[in-house]
Structure 1
Amino acid sequence: MTPTRAPGQLPVRDRTVNAAVLVDAFCFPRELDRVLTPTGAVVWINLLGEDGPLYLPSTDIAACLGGSWTTVESRAGWGIWAILRRSAACPRHALGFQHPAMPSEPTCHT
């Protein structure tokens, strides 16, 4: 029997994903929050870096996800990658994280 899910939901149970790898993809923070474990990670990859059509800085991604996240970011060739992990002291649904260098209005898909 397949579990019933709302339109737009991943076919994954709540809090069962250890890592979500998004390569030149849209970020849907509510869905990521639903499926990630409390210690889950998001790997955010932009193959063309700032020139890519779906590029967002990792600070925008962290702000969209809400709560407190630690981020490691680097470059490889043209591309940019980041690994975001929930901070150890961060409650699962804490909201209000804003990176000091982050614009006040992040670009998010909800």
Structure 2
Amino acid sequence: MKQCLSNHVIERHRIAHTLGPWKIGKHSTTVVSEHQVETTNKRHDGGVNDQKYYGGSLIGESILRKENAALIAAAPDMYEVLLALAFLESDTDYDEVIERAQEIVKNIRGV
């Protein structure tokens, strides 16, 4: 998916979450990232970065509805769109941000 913000805006407002994209993992009850998850326990990650088992690094598991998993997986993209709306640099960017938001909604709904 296309990024709708400049890198300097994204970096200035980055929060300490595991980078996206997030997606539903190998097991349909999991959400994973392609990026390694940094855990609060620096000595042991509890297996969350077992990419072979999960199909990525584990963000969440035991998500019993696929609709909830799709919504959770879209969180980094939704945050990016929220930032884009909050920091629009010109009126011409508005249409691009709305298009991006519509893409995310379609992906969540599986359209």
Q: Report the TM-score range of the alignment, normalised by the length of the smaller protein.
A: under 0.3
Which is richer in helix?
Answer: 2
Q: Which has the higher strand share?
A: 1
What TM-score results when the alignment is normalised by the length of structure 2?
0.24
